């Protein structure tokens, strides 16, 4: 069995006739028939039945037809990948992500990407998870990096980052001076939190529910910079990703702490439309995150 025989079998199955398959492949009808006979002799099994002047594929032929489609799809994908690899990457890549991702992950990621692919224009749109999913499904965006979970049958999801959520407060706040903070210390504290319905907020609410704490939420927003600004002026405390506060903690503008016995984390992942072959720009952007991820401040040092 060879590729030419698989190609001929597929042409006969698709056209429904030996003559039409020959026209399609620029072969004579006799050449098509001969190759099918050779294939059947090799298999000791018929691949087509000739019934009343019509061609009907047998179970053995159907199995070979499925193989033929897979083989030629793989060949085409490999050929296209080789061509893509030789071609200078250009065009536009539309990225979407949550606010924290856009502020702290995308800048170093896009800088690294542009070092390798300067002819690609990268457009970034910060958005909520439901809107991000809609944009990917409608083709308004190519690739998203978002807090998981995302569950949609037409999207592929690939977890790539796990970051720790920590309690954050003004340096003058009484909790900032406690050696150990336990869940009961949070009772009756005013909180500035991510907006309701977000995956980050859901993680925080699950913690509150486990500890039987009803938080006093003074305000909520998806913008982590607004959360930090409100925490700095002591409107409340919050729970945010460490990478969003690392610079301010190092500068003494904010204080952070773990809650004794509690590790709060959130997972971030790539989301894109499901496809047998992703655009090269999408593949390259995903690969660049593997390069950049070790530089991101996702976890505090062990002295905290």
Instruction: List, for residues 249-279, the tens digit of each pLDDT value.
Output: 999 999 999 999 888 999 999 999 998 889 9
**What does pTM read for this prediction?**
0.68
Domain that holds residue 172: 162-266
75-79, 173-177, 212-216, 280-284 — which is least confidently predicted? 75-79
> pLDDT-based confidence at 184, cuts 50/70/90?
very high
Assign residue 179 the CATH number of its domain: 3.40.190.10
Does pLDDT of 304 surpass 70?
no
Q: Which residues pair with 167 in a beta bridge?
A: 239, 257
> pLDDT-based confidence at 87, cuts 50/70/90?
low
Give the end of a domain, one of 86, 108, 135.
86
Choose the most confident range, by mean pLDDT, from 4-13, 82-91, 293-302: 4-13
Same domain, 143 and 174: no
CB 183 within 8 A of CB 168: no
Share of the chain above pLDDT 70, in %: 97
Same domain, 166 and 238: yes
Does pLDDT of 287 surpass 90?
yes
Instruction: List, for residues 36-53, the tens digit of each pLDDT value.
Output: 999 888 888 898 988 877
Same domain, 258 and 171: yes
Share of the chain above pLDDT 90, in %: 60
Short-list 101, 191, 93, CA closest to 148: 101
Task: Report, as an integer, the average pLDDT of 188-204.
Answer: 92
Same domain, 121 and 215: no
């Amino acid at each position: 069995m060879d590729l030419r025989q698989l190609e001929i079998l597929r042409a006969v199955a698709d056209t429904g006739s030996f003559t039409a398959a020959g026209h399609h492949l620029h072969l004579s009808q006799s050449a098509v028939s001969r190759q099918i006979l050779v294939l059947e002799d090799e298999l000791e099994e018929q691949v087509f039945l000739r019934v009343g002047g019509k061609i009907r594929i047998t179970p053995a032929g159907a199995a070979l037809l499925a193989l033929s489609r897979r083989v030629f799809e793989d060949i085409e994908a490999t050929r296209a990948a080789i061509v893509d690899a030789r071609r200078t990457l250009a065009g536009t890549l539309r990225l979407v992500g949550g606010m924290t991702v856009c502020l702290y992950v995308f800048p170093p990621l896009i800088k690294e990407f542009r070092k390798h692919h300067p002819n690609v224009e990268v457009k970034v749109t910060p958005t909520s998870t439901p809107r991000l999913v809609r944009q990917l499904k409608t083709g308004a965006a190519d690739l998203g990096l978002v807090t998981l979970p995302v569950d949609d049958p037409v999207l592929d999801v690939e977890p790539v980052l796990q970051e720790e959520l920590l309690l954050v407060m003004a340096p003058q706040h009484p909790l900032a001076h406690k050696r150990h903070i336990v869940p009961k210390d949070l009772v009756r504290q005013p909180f500035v939190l991510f907006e309701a319905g977000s995956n980050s907020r859901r993680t925080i609410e699950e913690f509150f529910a486990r500890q039987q704490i009803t938080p006093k939420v003074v305000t909520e927003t998806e913008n982590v910079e607004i959360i930090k600004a409100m925490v700095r002026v002591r409107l409340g405390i919050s729970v945010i990703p460490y990478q969003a506060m690392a610079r301010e903690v190092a500068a003494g503008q904010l204080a952070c702490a773990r809650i004794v016995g509690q590790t709060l984390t959130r997972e971030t992942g790539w989301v894109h439309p499901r496809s047998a072959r992703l655009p090269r720009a999408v593949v390259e952007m995903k690969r660049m995150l593997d390069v950049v991820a070790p530089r991101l401040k996702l976890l505090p040092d062990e002295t905290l």
